[in-house]
A and B are shown apart, each in its own frame.
Chain A
Amino acid sequence: MQILTYPDPQLKHESLPVERFDTELQAFIQELEETMRAGPGGVGIAAPQVGRLQRIVIVDVSSARKPVPNHGRMVLVNPEITQWKGMAVGREGCMSVPDYTGNVIRAEAITLTAKNEFGEHQEFQCEGYEARAVQHELDHLDGLLFLDRLVSRHRDLFRRKVYQ
């Protein structure tokens, strides 16, 4: 599948919840995952990035350049963040915004609930780099890009979070 890039208007739309957990959904999620893995360094992808305005994201930071705490491959359908803790500045980029990176403030730890591709309930507690990736992807579901959350590169409000 092709990844849409800004200024494609679909990236600024709010996505709708998934209601049917069928084989079509599962096939789409598989293709979405292949698209994520083919991307340049992508550790996450959201359905609207390929033009499907539904609340579906995949995050997998298990092969990040530097090992970080992670849950492996997470398929998050209709995800909701229920708790946030801490704040940190980190550098983000996006497959939908090529050749630009910037600083974004995110919660350091989050608790979230979601369905998987089969409609089963899941709950995760994520921290650090993985929590950042999840928040970045969930923003896509609300039509937000990291560009909407940029903070100064030269005047960090918080000391940079180093994930190790």
Chain B
Amino acid sequence: MAEWSMLTLVGEDRPGIVAAVTEVLFASGCNLGETAMVRLGGNFSMMLMVSRPTDGCALDEKLSSVMERFGLQLHQSAIIGELHSHLQPNLQLVVYGADRAGIVASVTAKLAEAGFHILDLRTDVGGSSRDPIYVMEIEGYADQEAAELEQRLEPLRQQGVEWRLSTIDLMVG
């Protein structure tokens, strides 16, 4: 059975990081599973499910020259590679407001109370440095009806946080 790791690589963003990292992994006999890679505030951040041959090759050694070239930091953890078992989101929440500390905490606290299972969450800071805007997009699953969740989220509007909850109606053909 394949041995899975989660690799996290972070470094200052510049073109060519993905190609260089994945080329080393491929050449080392690794196979990628699900990954997420994104530029966050000038940093490139990669999370990769990697299955590797069981010959005990040390990935940090193999990646060392690429890490040095691009100034990347690596973190590895052994994981259970659970593929082919996606959970389907049934709700999408988009949140925005003037940026301030605590938006993610207050929104996700309401969701957690409702048993909302977050499957995908991204946040971004837009606007200008003088008037920054915080935007968050969440997809997840909840047994609760959208209307009940909306009631829970309603008080956030008094805190200057705008939000819109919509259902994701999956069509399987």
Contacts and interface: CB of A to CB of B under 8 A. Distances in A.
Interface of A: 39-46, 59, 64-66, 90-95, 98-101, 129, 132-133, 136-137, 140, 146, 153-154, 160, 162-164
Interface stretch (B14-22, B83-91, B151-159): B83-91
Given A99-B85, A101-B86, A92 B170 contact: yes
B173 A101 contact: no
B167 A101 contact: no
List of 6 A-B pairs having minimum Cβ-Cβ separation, nearest first: A136-B173, A44-B173, A93-B172, A41-B172, A99-B84, A163-B169
A122 B95 CA distance: 45
B166 interface: yes
A92 B137 contact: no
Contacts of B86: 99-101
Given A99-B85, A101-B86, A160 B168 contact: yes
B45 interface: no
Interface in B55-111: 84-86, 88, 92
Contacts, number: 66
A134 B49 CA distance: 36
Given A99-B84, A99-B86, A154-B122, A136 B166 contact: no
Given A99-B86, A101-B88, A162-B166, A154 B137 contact: yes
Interface of B: 84-86, 88, 92, 120, 122, 137, 139, 166-173
A66 B173 contact: no
B161 to A, nearest CB: 19
Contacts of B137: 154
Nearest to B38: A154
Contact of B170 (A46, A91, A137, A154): A91
12 contacts: A41-B170, A42-B173, A90-B171, A91-B171, A92-B170, A101-B170, A160-B166, A160-B168, A162-B167, A162-B169, A163-B169, A164-B167
B168 A91 contact: yes
Contact of B173 (A45, A99, A100, A153): A45
Nearest to A136: B173
B172 A42 contact: yes
Contact of A93 (B92, B120, B170): B170
Contact of B171 (A40, A46, A100, A129): A129
Given A43-B173, A93-B171, A154-B137, 20 more contacts: A39-B172, A45-B173, A46-B173, A59-B173, A65-B169, A66-B167, A92-B170, A92-B172, A94-B173, A99-B85, A101-B170, A129-B169, A132-B171, A136-B171, A136-B173, A153-B139, A160-B166, A162-B166, A163-B169, A164-B167
